[in-house]
Amino acid sequence: AQSVAQPEDQVNVAEGNPLTVKCTYSVSGNPYLFWYVQYPNRGLQFLLKYITGDNLVKGSYGFEAEFNKSQTSFHLKKPSALVSDSALYFCAVRDLNFNKFYFGSGTKLNVKP
């Protein structure tokens, strides 16, 4: 079955430290990959996407993500976390073969001062 997995419900990191939010997927073909962020009392916001090309993509607010085809992963990263990065992060996949979208269950990122 097609799916997206975010294995960590919560990630805790100290401000200034690097952060990684993990995502793996099980979708046929060459899907499009996305990260979205949801701040408290605000809607989902687009962060970045991978379609093709360089495996490291850069997005908004200093975030980047690394695509690994052999591991079917698309981990979100940031070199130096900010307290304001604390939010709920969703990985999403677009299945081009069946015109469907799949979202992970979300990872809550807590950045402590």
Partner 1 sequence: ETGVTQSPTHLIKTRGQQVTLRCSSQSGHNTVSWYQQALGQGPQFIFQYYREEENGRGNFPPRFSGLQFPNYSSELNVNALELDDSALYLCASSAGTADEQYFGPGTRLTVT
What CA–CA distance (Å, rounded) separates 57 from 3?
Answer: 22
Residue 75 binds partner 1 (CB under 8 A): no
Among 73, 77, 82, 103, binds partner 1 (CB under 8 A): 103
Q: Map the footprint of partner 1 across residues 22-61, applying CB under 8 A.
A: 32, 34, 36, 42-46, 49, 51
> Over the range 33-57, which residues count as b (16 or more CB within 10 Å of their CB) and which as e?
bbbbbeeeeeeeeebbbbeeeeeeb
Binding of residue 104 to partner 1 (CB under 8 A) = yes
The alpha carbon of residue 64 and the mean position of all alpha carbons in its chain are separated, in whole angstroms, by: 9
The residue ranges that bind partner 1 (CB under 8 A) are 4, 6, 32, 34, 36, 42-46, 49, 51, 90, 94, 96, 98-106
